[in-house]
Amino acid sequence: MLAVAILAAGKGTRMKSALPKVLQTLAETSMVERVLNSCSGLNPDRKFLIVGHQAEKVKEKLIHFPKLEFVIQTPQKGTGHAIQQLLKVLRDFKGELLVLNGDVPLLKSETLRRLINEHRRSNASVTFLTTKLSNPKGYGRVFANKNREVSRIIEDRDCSEEQKLNKLVNSGIYCFNWDQLAKVLPNLSTENNQREIYLTDTVAMLPLSMHLEVEDPGEIKGINNRHQLSQCERLLQERLREHWMENGVTFIDPSSCTLNENCTFGIDVIIEPQTHFRGNCRINNGCKIGPGSLIINSDLGESVSILYSVVNEAIIENNVSIGPFANLRPGTKLDKCSKVGNFVEIKNSSIGEKTKVNHLSYLGDAKIGKEVNIGAGTITANYDGINKHPTIIGDKSKTGANSVLVAPINLGSKVTVGAGSTLTKNVPNNALAIGRSKQLIKENWFSKESQS
């Protein structure tokens, strides 16, 4: 039997935030969700989350995780005290207890599997992950012999200057034999600098404690402050970009681009500098995105090009060209080979095949047909102050520069709208619509001033 306990009750004082520490995010997913994900493949029989500080907020965020049991720790008297809360719930449990710190989010599932296998093979009371750090400040130091047997862990604050020179650090990831741990848990003391009950003290009390060094120290990086948060974000972004580079994506300036695990890319995608992907994005083969673009929850077909633009909750078909400086808002659908040019804003509108909206337009709640040319400065006046209204334009129509289409309005196909028109009435197919005052010419007219 395997049980997992994630420690997430601490306040995270060093983060200086109104948000509980474990809800801080890395690539848009909270630390604690990352920790939960890292152990979901292990199929544990029981899964506990120890919560305390702002417990309701943490619970609310994680309520959708199947089989997750919340255990309350109040007050929070340390990591050992947190695990003591399991003594009742796991009274008759036989097997291993995997303990994970909620603030160590880059751990890989393979490493956890290795830890459990190693633990089972060695028959130790506890096996825990360690690494050697050139700057071990803040971490508990692990004192072990060559056979990986550990005599004790001493927290940074409790170390003598000499002990601080030890670079082997505790990750906060342990696989315990529950029976043996349960016996020593009640005997933990608070004789340390912080007057807390430390889980780390159990290693000196158990019959056989072993450690397992991980090769990549990045994996067990703990996050206590915003500096460490930013370091982990960087490591995670590097991992994500490396994955996609191995799968056919070119990053011109990798470190200037960010993404997350819910973004997928086809082959021969070129990502120019300062380009970011948020939420769920699906980017197909041959797209060229950036520089300077933000893509959020959007689907891009093949060979789409985007330059200095924001694309948010949009569906873009093959061979569409966007930008520079377009703002595509939720509900935008661009059909294949269409083009959206500079300083164009589109919201909740569909744009037909080969249609062009090249300059300075706002299209909202509009349905535009195929091969339409939306002239520079065309605006759909879709909002009357209370309600939003639709604009429909048929295939092969053309709007002149600076047209205002006051919605609700329906323009047929092959309609031409004269430049500078303000249209308030529907226009039938094949018609020319002009809605502006006639130009006056008064010949041989001079102002009085110019005559004197």
Mark the segment that binds Ca ion (CB under 5 A) among 147-155, 222-230, 277-285, 375-383.
222-230
The Cα–Cα gap between 365 and 383 comes to 10
Using CB under 6 A as the criterion, what x/- string covers residues 73-92 for binding ligand UD1?
Answer: x--xxxx-xx----------
Considering only residues 40, 224, 297, 402, which one is a binding residue for Ca ion as defined by CB under 5 A? 224
Q: Kindly identify the residues of this chain, within the stretch 50-69, that bind ligand UD1 according to CB under 6 A.
A: 50, 52
Least distance (Å) from Ca ion to the CB of residue 224? 5
342: helix, coil or strand?
strand
Query: Minimum distance between the CB of residue 14 and Ca ion, rounded to whole angstroms?
Result: 9
Of 127-146, binders to ligand UD1 (CB under 6 A) are: 139-140
Instruction: Give CA–CA dist 346/362, Å, rounded.
Output: 6
DSSP string, 177-191: EHHHHHHHGGG----
State the binding partner of 79 from Ca ion, ligand UD1, none, CB within 5 to 8 A by kind. Answer: ligand UD1
**Residue nearer to ligand UD1 on the CB measure, 141 or 339:** 141
Contact between 358 and Ca ion (CB under 5 A)? no
Q: Is 328 in the site for ligand UD1 (CB under 6 A)?
A: no
139 contact choice in Ca ion, ligand UD1, none (CB below 5 to 8 Å, kind-dependent): ligand UD1
Q: Give the residue nearest to ligand UD1 (CB).
A: 140
Cβ neighbourhood burial of 94 (10 Å; 0-12, 13-18, 19+): exposed
At residue 11, the 3 state secondary structure works out as coil
Q: Does 155 bind ligand UD1 (CB under 6 A)?
A: yes
Q: Is 169 in the site for ligand UD1 (CB under 6 A)?
A: yes
Residue 129: enclosing H or E segment and its boundaries? strand 126-132
Query: CB–CB of 397/412 below 8 Å?
Result: yes
Question: Does the footprint of Ca ion cover residue 103 (CB under 5 A)?
Answer: yes
Counting contacts by CB under 5 A, is residue 78 touching Ca ion? no
Which residue stretches of 79-177 are H helix?
Answer: 79-84, 86-89, 109-122
Contacting ligand UD1 (CB under 6 A), which of 153, 281, 366, 415? 153
Pick 224 or 250: Cβ nearer Ca ion: 224
**CA dihedral sign of residues 221, 223, 225, 227:** positive
To which H or E segment does residue 327 belong?
strand 326-328
State how far the Cα of 150 lies from the Cα of 137, in Å rounded to an integer. 20
State the minimum distance, in angstroms, from the CB of residue 138 to ligand UD1: 7
Among 198-206, 329-337, 376-384, 410-418, the segment contacting ligand UD1 (CB under 6 A): 198-206
The smaller minimum CB distance to Ca ion, of residues 224 and 413, is found at: 224
Closest separation between CB of residue 32 and Ca ion, Å? 13
Yes or no: say if 339 and 345 are a contact pair by the CB < 8 Å rule: no
Name the token pair of 31.
Answer: 């630390």
* Residue whose CB is less far from ligand UD1, 69 or 253: 69
Cβ–Cβ < 8 Å for 181, 125: yes
Instruction: Please give the single-letter amino acid code of residue 390.
Output: P
Query: 31-40 and 55-62 helices cross at what angle (nearest 10)?
Result: 50
Sign of torsion over alpha carbons 217, 219, 220, 222: positive
* Total residues at interface with Ca ion (CB under 5 A): 3
Distances (CA, A) of 153 to 172, 223, 366: 11, 19, 66
The yes-or-no answer on residue 359 being catalytic is yes
- 111 lies in the binding site for ligand UD1 (CB under 6 A): no
Catalytic residue among 53, 243, 359, 389: 359
Contact 383, 409 (CB under 8 A): no
The residues binding Ca ion (CB under 5 A) are: 103, 222, 224
The residues binding ligand UD1 (CB under 6 A) are: 7-10, 22, 50, 52, 73, 76-79, 81-82, 101-104, 139-140, 153, 155, 169-172, 198-200, 222, 224
Catalytic positions are 359
